[in-house]
């Protein structure tokens, strides 16, 4: 039998190699894709606490250092920013992020706090994320008050659904280890997710708080 032309031999070798690959990898036979990337870890939840506003302020935008025409000058200003994504890392479009916190003297805009909150401090803000899931607030480095380490309350909503309620802490604050809610974060990964560095910036401080929700 005469030898096959070189071109035919190459074709047969290529077909044989393809067959071996199919045998070695059944996923190729079924046309399956590679295994999906592992889901992200959801941001831990924490209690809402007693100080969510009973009535939202007239000014409830993303700048908590301006309440209408009033300007708040106490404490350290901070840019708080991040993104809201689902477990697959996709932006949660149309989500709203809310934050609320006490003023520098430790008072909330809440009836149970005796009306002692500084009227210059807005105390509550709400913003819709952009197309990439990003949000940004101008606010105050959280202050401590009796029994609590500095923290900012955070809530994420999507239409009428509440996706997350939690609290954000300041990395390295000496009050953290004494705070009963912070100590409930026994998993180091949970602590790292909610305890973020507040780093110097050109106009105050900056804190990055990425949020992962089940959407």
For residue 92, give Cα distances in angstroms to 100, 126, 153: 21, 16, 20
Same domain, 81 and 125: yes
Element (H, E) at 165: strand 161-170
46 occurs within a structural domain? no
Q: What span, in angstroms and rounded, lies between the C-alpha atoms of 85 and 131?
A: 11
For residue 174, give Cα distances in angstroms to 5, 49, 96, 169, 212: 80, 21, 31, 11, 27
The closest alpha carbon to 98, from 70, 130, 128, 68, belongs to: 128
Same domain, 94 and 185: yes
Residue 95 CB coordination number (10 Å): 25
189 occurs within a structural domain? yes
**150-192, pLDDT tens digit by residue?**
999 999 999 999 999 999 999 999 999 999 999 999 999 999 9
CA 59 to chain centre: 23
How many domains does the chain contain in total? Answer: 2
pTM for the full predicted model: 0.82
172 occurs within a structural domain? yes
126 occurs within a structural domain? yes
179 occurs within a structural domain? yes
Q: What span, in angstroms and rounded, lies between the C-alpha atoms of 33 and 116?
A: 60
Q: What span, in angstroms and rounded, lies between the C-alpha atoms of 25 and 29?
A: 7
Q: 19 pLDDT exceeds 50?
A: no
Q: 29 pLDDT exceeds 70?
A: no
For residue 200, what is the domain's CATH number?
Answer: 2.60.130.10
Same domain, 27 and 123: no
For residue 127, give Cα distances in angstroms to 9, 76, 179: 66, 21, 29
Same domain, 101 and 157: yes
Same domain, 113 and 161: yes
Domain residues for 103?
66-212
Task: Kindly state the DSSP code that residue 80 receives in the 8-state scheme.
Answer: E
**104-161, pLDDT tens digit by residue?**
999 999 987 878 999 999 999 999 999 999 999 999 999 999 999 999 999 999 999 9
State residue 7's pLDDT score: 53
Please report which confidence band the pLDDT of residue 57 belongs to, taking 50, 70 and 90 as the band edges: confident
Residue 99 CB coordination number (10 Å): 22
The full DSSP string for 82-142 is: EEEE-TTS-B-TTEEEEEE---TTS--SSGGGTT-S-TT---EEEEE--TTSEEEEEEE--
Q: What span, in angstroms and rounded, lies between the C-alpha atoms of 145 and 132?
A: 35
State residue 174's pLDDT score: 97
**63-102, pLDDT tens digit by residue?**
999 999 999 999 999 999 999 999 999 999 999 999 999 9
Q: Which residue has the tokens 């802490």?
A: 169
Q: What is the rounded end-to-end Cα distance, in angstroms, of the chain?
A: 67
Same domain, 31 and 133: no
207 occurs within a structural domain? yes
């Amino acid at each position: 039998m005469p030898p096959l032309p070189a071109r035919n031999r190459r074709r047969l070798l290529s077909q044989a190699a393809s067959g071996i690959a199919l045998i070695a990898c059944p996923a190729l036979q079924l046309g399956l894709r590679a295994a999906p990337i592992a889901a992200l870890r959801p941001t831990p939840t924490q209690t809402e606490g007693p100080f969510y506003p009973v009535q939202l302020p007239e000014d409830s935008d993303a700048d908590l250092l301006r309440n209408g025409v009033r300007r708040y000058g106490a404490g350290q200003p901070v840019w708080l920013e991040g993104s809201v994504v689902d477990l697959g890392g996709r932006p949660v479009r149309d989500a709203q992020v809310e934050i609320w916190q006490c003023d520098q003297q430790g008072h909330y805009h809440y009836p149970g706090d005796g009306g002692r909150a500084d009227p210059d401090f807005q105390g509550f803000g709400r913003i819709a994320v952009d197309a990439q899931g990003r949000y940004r607030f101008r606010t105050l480095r959280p202050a401590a008050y009796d029994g609590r380490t500095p923290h900012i309350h955070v809530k994420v909503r999507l239409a009428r659904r509440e996706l997350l309620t939690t609290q954000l802490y300041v990395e390295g604050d000496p009050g953290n280890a004494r705070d009963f809610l912070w100590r409930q974060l026994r998993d180091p990964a949970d602590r790292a997710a909610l305890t973020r560095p507040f780093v110097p910036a050109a106009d105050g401080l900056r804190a990055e708080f990425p949020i992962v929700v089940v959407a």
